[in-house]
Amino acid sequence: MIKASDLRRREIVNVFDGKRLGFVSDLEIDDSEGYINAIIVPGPGKFFGLFGGDRDYIIPWEKIVKIGSDVILVEVPGTHRKSRNSKDTKS
């Protein structure tokens, strides 16, 4: 079993392009079923998830390839970002 706090200490790396996306800042949970739908990583330019741009990387749970001891490998061809103030976008 793994805790949410343990996930936050692991860096997210996209195996599709080798890009380091950052660290988990939050989880998207299906409250009716109790499953994790996605991990959320602050977008580029954000400082501790607070300052900077308003777009976060939303990485669906099924796109996680491997959770290692210090990294989480994901396979995301186009990094999917969600704006807090507008529609979903792709970078």
pLDDT at 1: 81
Say which CATH number the domain at 41 has: 2.30.30.240
* Mean pLDDT value of segment 23-51: 82
Could you tell me how far CA 52 lies from the centroid of its own chain? 17
pLDDT class for 62, splitting at 50, 70, 90? very high
pLDDT class for 54, splitting at 50, 70, 90? low
Q: How many domains does the chain have?
A: 1
Answer yes or no: pTM beyond 0.75: no
Its domain, for residue 71, covers 4-90
Give the type of residue at 63.
Answer: K
* Mean pLDDT value of segment 8-13: 93
